Amino acid sequence: MPYKPGGLTPDGFQLLERMAELGFSWDISHLAEEGVQQGLEMGFPRVCASHANARALTPTIRHLSDDVIRALADKGGVIGLVLYNAFLEPRWRQDHAIPVTLEMHVRRHAEYIAGLTGWRAVGIGSDLDGGFGLEECPQEIDTEADLSKIAAVLPPEAREPVLGGNWLTFLRMSLPGYQG
Kindly state whether residue 4 falls inside one of the protein's structural domains: no
State the amino acid at position 143 in one-letter form. T
The answer to whether the CB of 27 falls within 8 A of the CB of 52 is: no
- Confirm whether 134 is domain-assigned: yes
Are 49 and 125 a contacting pair, CB within 8 Å?
yes
In a domain, 74, yes or no: yes
Per-residue pLDDT of the chain in tens (180 residues, 90 and over written 9):
455 677 999 999 999 999 999 989 999 998 999 999 999 999 998 999 999 999 999 998 889 999 999 999 999 999 999 999 999 999 999 999 999 999 999 999 999 999 999 999 999 997 776 667 778 999 999 888 899 999 999 999 999 999 999 999 999 998 877 776
CB 68 within 8 A of CB 36: yes
The CATH number of the domain where 88 resides is what? 3.20.20.140
Our count of domains for the chain comes to: 1
Within-domain flag for 36: no
- Report if residue 85 sits inside a domain: yes
16 assigned to some structural domain: no
- Whether 42 is in a domain gets the answer no
- Residues 6+ away with beta carbon under 8 Å from 21: none
Angle at 159 between CA 119 and CA 123, to 5 degrees: 55
- pTM to 2 decimals? 0.92
